[in-house]
Amino acid sequence: MNKKVKWYRRIFSFLREVRAELKKVTWPSRNEVQSTTVVVILTTIFFGLYLYFMDLIFSWVLNQVRGLFG
């Protein structure tokens, strides 16, 4: 029984500490979140297209080499 009480006390203590730490957090504004989201989306699209075209180029080169020695 004693272990259960200690276990529950630790959980409640942990949750109180989490709440105290969350009060210290400086949350970004709505505009900051929107602008960083746009940057992430554009960067993802850019690198996705870059990798797609690099894959096309390497596949074409590999097929050309296989055609020569195939």
User: Hey, what are 32's tokens?
Assistant: 């900051």
Distance CA 37, CA 45 (A): 12
CA 2, distance to chain mean position in Å, is 41
Please state the pTM of the whole predicted model: 0.64
pLDDT in tens, the chain (70 residues): 566 668 888 899 999 999 999 999 999 999 999 999 999 999 999 999 999 999 999 999 999 999 998 7
User: Quick one: pLDDT at residue 8?
Assistant: 85
Q: Which two tokens stand for residue 69?
A: 């020695």
Q: What is residue 1's predicted lDDT score, i.e. its pLDDT?
A: 54
